[in-house]
Amino acid sequence: MKQYDYLIVGSGLFGSTLAYRAQQIGKRCLVIDKRSHIGGNVYCESIEGINVHKYGAHIFHTSNKEVWNFVNSIVEFNRYTNSPVANYKGQLYNLPFNMNTFYQMWGVKTPEEAEGKLEEQRAEAKARMNGREPQNLEEQAQLLIGKDIYETLIKGYTEKQWGRECTELPAFIIKRLPVRMVFDNNYFNDKYQGIPVGGYNKLIEGLLDGTEVRLNTDFFSLGDWRDIAEKLVYTGPLDEYFNYKLGRLQYRTVSFETTVEDTANYQGNAVVNYTEREIPYTRVIEHKHFEMFGQEVYDCQKTVISKEYSTEWKPGMEPYYPVNDERNNNLAEQYRQLAAKERNVIFGGRLAEYKYYDMAPIIEHALTVQL
């Protein structure tokens, strides 16, 4: 008999949830991670007593009651509700686009007035295009929402994200731009959202409680896994598993500039988007607002902020978002066909499936995959 039933590569949410399930049914698991900490991209680093989302802001949201009950059975969640604010040339606007935004933009006070203004703006955009199909993202966005909101809240932000002019980006990137005719700044439409009380590390620690974990351990330096385990759960990059033999998959990435500020409350909100092109970062995250409310904000006298910059990805950088174009989709599909032929290996998670996943769908997948 081999030493382990499962060797699990990666202690992110997928690997940790699978380890939890396997352990519950009495399987012997070893979780390895090449990083020096558990949790993958949801890991938080404590700075000045504040949980800092080291790999980007993470807000848990779902309408799936089973997933919500599952995570709450591991750790309690707080009442954080994501309601980002946009800063355009010093003016502030609420997001997502809702009655507050329309009031701030045009002074309109009723849904009827806001609808009228939106219709007027859309009609002007249509007239400018003279009946032809939108040729690029700029034209598409203006048809959907009009010039004012496009220029103030979409143009600069999108250009920073993609590193290209909106007139050079394809129209299909924006299919819909939802608007809300109510005064509601809650970014998500999901039934449940929040942040684990005590931070994401508590969630991961709860999932891995009782499981053997080895950090700073790269799967590719281990030798043949079949010598130690019956089955493998692999959550690392799909192309790396096959030694890039068909070519490298590409990603988009984000870089963070994190600083400690000598004030208790820097921007009054967890997320502020900077929507003008001239400011090089896209967002500023003030981490304490994910977990501290009311007086707690002031009881902690310092604050930690992260400025986010969209950065072109090169091998060696953090692979964050899969690139959804023909080349990468085709290549990923070829790798998936190879993966399907691997015996006793489960490929799961955002890297091994080369797919953008929010946290809740990752957990849903890990709860349902056949062990």
**Annotated active-site positions, please?**
176, 180, 252, 283, 308, 356, 358
Of 103 and 188, CB closest to ligand FDA: 188
In the region spanning residues 89 to 128, those forming contacts with ligand FDA, defined by CB under 6 A, are none
What DSSP line would sit under 133-154, residue for residue? Answer: PP-SHHHHHHHHH-HHHIIIII
The Cα–Cα gap between 346 and 352 comes to 9
- Nearer residue to ligand FDA within complex by CB, 117 or 350: 350
DSSP 154: I
- Give the pair of three-digit tokens for residue 161: 């994200």
Query: Is the CB of 5 or the CB of 353 nearer to ligand FDA?
Result: 353
Residue 252 identity (one-letter amino acid): R
CB-based contacts of 70, cutoff 8 Å, min separation 6: 363, 367
Interacting residue with ligand FDA among 4, 6, 14, 200 (CB under 6 A)? 14
Two tokens at 186?
A: 């809650």
DSSP structural state of residue 1: -
* Token reading at 168: 């050079």
Residue with tokens 């500020």: 261
The verdict on 68 binding ligand FDA (CB under 6 A) reads no
Residues 296-335 as x/- pattern, contact with ligand FDA by CB under 6 A? ------------------------x---------------
User: Which one, of 78, 75, 97, 74, lies nearest residue 86 by Cα?
Assistant: 97
Strand 44-47, strand 60-62: pairing = unpaired
- Nearest-approach distance from CB 350 to ligand FDA, in angstroms: 4
Closest CA to 288 of 74, 78, 12: 78
Q: Does 219 bind ligand FDA (CB under 6 A)?
A: yes
- When asked if residue 355 is in the footprint of ligand FDA (CB under 6 A), the reply is no
With CA atoms as reference, report the closest residue to 266 among 286, 290, 294, 292: 286
For position 203 contacting ligand FDA by CB under 6 A, the verdict is no
Q: Which of 4, 15, 96, 229 binds ligand FDA (CB under 6 A)?
A: 15
Is 32 one of the binding residues for ligand FDA (CB under 6 A)?
A: yes
Using CB under 6 A as the binding rule, whether residue 71 contacts ligand FDA is answered as no
Number of residues that bind ligand FDA (CB under 6 A): 34
Beta strands in 235-302 (DSSP E): 251-261, 271-274, 283-286
Distances (CA, A) of 232 to 30, 197, 344, 351: 10, 32, 6, 15
Does 174 interact with ligand FDA (rule: CB under 6 A)?
no
Name which position in 5, 11, 152, 266 contacts ligand FDA (CB under 6 A): 11
For the CB of residue 264, give the shortest distance to ligand FDA in the complex, in Å: 24
In the list 18, 31, 52, 57, the residue contacting ligand FDA (rule: CB under 6 A) is 57
What does the alpha-carbon distance between residue 83 and residue 352 come to, in Å, rounded to a whole number?
31
Closest distance of CB 244 from ligand FDA, Å: 13
From 70, 76, 75, select the one nearest 17 (Cα to Cα): 70
Interaction of residue 232 with ligand FDA, rule CB under 6 A: no
Residue with token string 């946290």: 359
Q: Per rule CB under 6 A, is residue 142 in the interface with ligand FDA?
A: no
Number of Cβ within a 10 Å radius of residue 176: 7
Contact positions with ligand FDA (CB under 6 A) in 238-277: 254
**Min CB(37)–ligand FDA separation in Å:** 8
Among 114, 351, 354, 364, binds ligand FDA (CB under 6 A): 351
- Should residue 35 be labelled a site residue for ligand FDA when binding is judged by CB under 6 A? yes
- Binding region for ligand FDA (CB under 6 A): 9-15, 32-35, 40-42, 56-60, 218-220, 235-236, 254, 320, 349-351, 357-360, 362
